[in-house]
Amino acid sequence: MTNFHISFGTEVADALRDGRPVVALESTIVSHGLPRPDNLLVARQIEQAVRDAGAVPATIGMIAGELIVGLDDAQLTRLATTDGVAKLSVRDLAVAAATGADGATTVAATSAVAASAGIGVFATGGLGGVHREAAQTFDESADLVTLARTPITVVCAGVKSILDVGATLERLETLGVGVVGYRTRRFPGFYLTDGGFDLDWSVESPEQVADVLIARERQGGHHGGLVVAHPLPADEQLDPALHDRTLADGLARLARDGVTGKAVTPFLLAHFHSATEGASLAVNVRIILRNADLAARIAVAAVTRRVAV
Ligand code: PSU
Ligand code: MN
């Protein structure tokens, strides 16, 4: 049963029918989060990382108004290389479908569609969150409120340090979204290993995440999303001094250029990629590939445990 009209890639449809592990992947990082031409290559590498760890990748996006779970290579190429691909949050999905748009799904939209399609694990880079200045602008990503009502496990490297990390953690708490560190009690800051805040819980293995998922299921239907925060090892993070300089400069440009709304996140990411001459891009790619690998191992463990219990 699905709430959206969804078309499935053949491989994903087969895997879901057979109860094999599947990992959802978003397309906004491909169309809006990473520069061309790397974006398409990285999109394929992410899928390969999921496969290498034993699961089937289901990259989600919209082609000519059709919501697709498991884009094929031609469709992925179209979203990665065409101008005018819309950035779709949950609220955009119906209008985009009705108008026949091409669109890439954010964490929020990907989570909603994946859960609706029966996929329980999702890998991304960093979650959207509360923007700095949100007290004035009210700019808080719909990723947060969507996770409050969507039963899915999102593997991410925390939230980007371009956001207000502390406020984001507070909102996740209010919204009832579970947050566990993967082998850490510190919430990661995406480019940075340590985002500066403590976590209440940590898990040690994919099997332990699977145990959490089984417990949630047995406790009934009141659970929404679960964030598995997976930091980069400290020796792989972006140089913190370079990070701080780039962020200060990016925020100043944001204010100067009057960038607002859904353009904020892509603007700051693009600024990082150009200002660090690719260093942040390399870090960004590492984050996503590591998260894809961990998400796949969680999906495998969840399938194995469920058969075992
Ligand atoms: N993290 C990344 N790159 C991205 C995003 C997150 O490393 O491109 C995208 C995700 O799709 C996320 C979105 O859902 O940015 C958040 O945008 P906004 O702040 O407008 O909600
Ligand atoms: Mn926003």
List pLDDT tens digits, range 158-173: 998 889 999 999 999 9
Task: Write the pLDDT tens digit of every residue in 16-56.
Answer: 999 999 999 999 999 999 999 999 999 999 999 999 999 99
Assigned domain for 171 exists: yes
Task: Write the pLDDT tens digit of every residue in 106-136.
Answer: 999 999 999 999 999 999 999 999 998 899 9
What are the residues facing 274 on neighbouring strands? Answer: none
Q: Give residue 222's pLDDT band: very low, low, confident or very high (50, 70, 90).
A: confident
Contact 71, 79 (CB under 8 A): yes
Ligand found nearest the CA of 144: 1
Exposure class string for 229-266: b at 16+ Cβ within 10 A, else e: bbbbeeeebbeeebbeebbeebeeebeeeeeeebebbb
Mutate to test the pocket of ligand 1, among 31, 124, 284 (most ligand atoms within 8 A of CB): 124
CA neighbours closer than 13 Å in the CB half-sphere of residue 122: 36
Tell me the C-alpha distance between 189 and 184, whole Å.
Answer: 13
pTM higher than 0.75? yes
Q: Mean pLDDT: which of 70-84, 246-260, 295-309 is highest?
A: 70-84
Task: Write the pLDDT tens digit of every residue in 141-151.
Answer: 999 999 999 99
What is the per-residue pLDDT for 156? 98
Binding residues for substrate: 87, 107, 141-143
Region 235-251 average pLDDT: 95
What is the per-residue pLDDT for 232? 97
Residue with tokens 């440009």: 253
Q: Where are the alpha helices (DSSP H) in the chain?
A: 10-18, 28, 38-52, 73-81, 93-98, 107-116, 134-137, 142-149, 165-174, 206-219, 240-257, 264-275, 279-308
Q: Residues of the chain with pLDDT > 90: what percent?
A: 90
What is the per-residue pLDDT for 136? 92
Assigned domain for 64 exists: yes
Q: Which atom of ligand 1 is nearest to the CA of 261?
A: 20
Region 183-206 average pLDDT: 97
Average pLDDT over all residues of the chain: 95
Domain ranges, residue 137: 7-308
CA neighbours closer than 13 Å in the CB half-sphere of residue 233: 4
Task: Give me the DSSP letters along 179-215.
Answer: EEEES-SEEEETTEEEEEEE-S-EE-SHHHHHHHHHH
Region 219-247 average pLDDT: 93
Taking 60 as the threshold, does the pLDDT of residue 3 lie above it?
no
Exposed/middle/buried for 126, CB within 10 Å: 0-12, 13-18, 19+?
buried
What is the per-residue pLDDT for 271? 95
Binding residues for Mn(2+): 139
Q: How many domains does the chain have?
A: 1
18-32, 70-84, 214-228, 230-244: range with lowest mean pLDDT: 214-228
Taking 70 as the threshold, does the pLDDT of residue 80 lie above it?
yes
Assigned domain for 174 exists: yes
Q: Which atom of ligand 1 is nearest to the CA of 266?
A: 8
What is the per-residue pLDDT for 220? 82
Taking 60 as the threshold, does the pLDDT of residue 283 lie above it?
yes
Assigned domain for 38 exists: yes
106 CA distance to ligand 1 middle (Å): 6
Taking 50 as the threshold, does the pLDDT of residue 308 lie above it?
yes
Assigned domain for 143 exists: yes
Region 58-74 average pLDDT: 97
Assigned domain for 1 exists: no
161 CA distance to ligand 1 middle (Å): 12
In CATH, what number is assigned to the domain containing residue 294? 3.40.1790.10
Look at ligand 1, atom 21, and give the residue with the nearest C-alpha: 141
The CA–CA distances, whole Å, from 29 to 40, 143, 196, 232, 288 equal 10, 14, 24, 18, 10
The rounded Cα 10 to chain-centroid distance in angstroms is 23
Paired tokens of 309: 């219990």
| Run of H or E including 105 | strand 103-105
Contact 155, 168 (CB under 8 A): no
